[in-house]
Amino acid sequence: MAIKSSILDTIGKTPVIRINNLAPEGVEMFVKLEAANPGGSVKDRLALSIIEAAERDGSLKPGQTVVEATSGNTGIGLAMVCAQKGYPLVVTMAESFSIERRKLMRFLGAKVVLTPASEKGTGMVKKARELAETHGWFLARQFENPANPDIHAKTTAVEIIEDFGPDGLDYFVTGFGTGGTLTGVSRTLRADSPVTKIVAVEPENARLLADDHVQSYNPDGSAAAAHPAWRPHPMQGWTPDFIPMVVQEALTNKRIDAYQPISGAASMQAARDLARKEGIFVGTSAGATFAAALELARTAPKGSKILAMLPDTGERYLSTPLFDDVSEEMSDEEQAISRSTATVRFDVSAAGGAPSFPTADDDALAEVHRTANENAVVMYVLEWCEFCWSVRKMFEEAGIPYKAVELDSVAYQKDNHGGRLRSALKEICGTHTIPQIFVGGTHIGGATETFDAYNAGELGKMLEARQISMAAAAANAYSYLPKWLHPR
């Protein structure tokens, strides 16, 4: 394995994988797994292609901000490329796309400007264009930029021909978002593997390509109006409310041999089947493409080889209807498995009871009392304890200043300082649990007692008595707990 010179060298060369358990008798089905790209989607390819084309032609200057409208995957790909190359990135995205997408882009250092879902795909594109014009930013223009289909013609399609040989593939099945995949791959397959039929899949309630309405464009190539056949659909990343300029090349050259509609329900079922029967974990548009490929497989001539494009990973969909049938809690069956052995269960308390602590020494006892009296609010915490985080979060949101004693931190390790304070706390508070909170020298209790005092308004009164006013924060302090710690 050659060492890669940067993460960008790991984009592309995604595997084609045989389908073993879901393919009907007599046909061979394959998928191209774009989740294997470092950013988890097909859009890593276009992100690198657009940025490097703009670097070459001088339209992107060193350090210039990049801006783009995206349903998420392009933004994630661009965020990765921009992080590596040192360009700031601003993304505009409709609020209707999954939360995972926003967080991933922000984690990779991008700014995400949300646009109203009611203004659809055309709205987020308009916002990106306005931002570019107002601030002199580089607009990536994925829906028009020729660097988008070009990279698929040069890499995705070439990889497919390398895997199947020229004329070795009977059907290539794909949806479209920008149309980069459809136009680029079909360009090279037509030239170098002319037997391969190109099948374009669309949501059944938003069949823009199969409709004869002619899309109009602005002089800059952006869509001039929304397409009348568009309706909201669940395949994130597919079929915006216009036919992108990038798709026109495939339409004009009549490269699409068949148009296939697919329902949202069939798409999600196919994504679940791929996960559960093939171990292939992908998103909704991948499920949609595979569902369409399966329909095709049922009628295709015996011996056909069918390849479905799988654009991204399923991890991007945890908060979407794709995961509706996946519960956070244990099912009845899982609970029965838990009860089938004696210990480590929720319905049987743990053996052994509370841990023991050595007797508190006088210095440690005096230190706890002194600290409580010298500070308005003191919290004894452990660095990685989620109850502690929850109380801190509440104090921070409510603007309550506090002193935190981090019992397990490096600073408290010398001479078992933290351990001695824990013994003292156990004696003073009557419990070994952490956190323990003191206000104005008075012991309040642990996280639960502190939340109760907050909810009942008592904490506020104690703080007021010390001239500390609270900012508006959550009505119920228990909402600061992570979900898995919520009282059962």
Q: Which residues of this chain interact with ligand PMP, rule CB under 6 A?
A: 41-43, 71, 73, 175-182, 236-238, 283, 285, 311-312
- The nearer residue to ligand PMP, 260 or 450, going by C-beta atoms, is 260
Nearer to ligand PMP, 311 or 446 (CB): 311
Provide DSSP, 131-186: HHHHHTPEE--TTT-THHHHHIIIIIHHHHHHHH-TT--SEEEE--SSSHHHHHHH
- For the CB of residue 285, give the shortest distance to ligand PMP in the complex, in Å: 3
Give the C-alpha separation, 437 to 375, whole Å: 11
Distance of closest approach, residue 437 Cβ to ligand PMP, in angstroms: 46
Residue 180 CB, nearest approach to ligand PMP (Å): 4
φ, ψ dihedrals at 174, nearest 5°: -150, 155
**251 Cα distance to chain centroid:** 32
Buried b (16+ CB within 10 A) or exposed e, 454-471: beeeebbebbeeeebebe
327: annotated active-site residue: no
CB nearer ligand PMP, residue 93 or residue 463: 93
C-alpha atoms less than 13 angstroms from C-alpha of 21 in its C-beta half-sphere:
9
Q: Which is nearer to ligand PMP, 42 or 376 (CB)?
A: 42
- Amino acid at position 312, single letter: D
Residue closest to ligand PMP (Cβ): 237
H or E element, residue 476 = none
Secondary-structure percent of the chain, ordered helix, strand, coil, rounded to 5: 45, 15, 40
The answer to whether the beta carbons of residues 439 and 462 sit under 8 Å apart is: yes
Of 175 and 203, CB closest to ligand PMP: 175
When the beta carbons of 31 and 463 are compared against ligand PMP, the nearer one is 31
Question: At its nearest, how many Å lie between ligand PMP and the CB of residue 16?
Answer: 17
Torsion of CA 178, 180, 185, 187, to 10 degrees: 100
Q: What does DSSP assign to residue 274?
A: I
Nearer to ligand PMP, 145 or 423 (CB): 145
Out of 49, 71, 186, 285, the active site residue is 285
The residues that bridge with 139 in the sheet, in sequence order, are 67
Supply the minimum distance, in Å, between the C-beta of residue 202 and ligand PMP: 11
Of 282 and 391, nearer to ligand PMP (C-beta) is 282
Does residue 43 carry a catalytic annotation?
yes
The minimum distance between CB 130 and ligand PMP, in angstroms, equals 21
**456-464 long-range CB contacts below 8 Å, 24 or more apart?**
463/376, 463/377, 463/400, 463/439
**Cβ 40 to ligand PMP, closest distance in Å?**
10
Please give the C-alpha separations between residue 379 and each of 20, 368, 413, in angstroms, as whole numbers. Answer: 57, 11, 18
Distance of alpha carbon 43 from alpha carbon 35, whole angstroms: 10
Minimum distance from CB of 283 to ligand PMP (Å)? 5
Q: 481: which DSSP letter?
A: S
d(CA 102, CA 70) in angstroms, rounded, equals 11
Rounded to an integer, what distance in angstroms lies between the CA atom of residue 259 and that of residue 203? 11
Q: Which of 32, 41, 43, 426 is catalytic?
A: 43
Neighbours of 360 (CB within 10 A): 18
How does strand 442-445 pair with strand 436-439?
A: antiparallel
Tell me which residues are annotated as active site: 43, 285
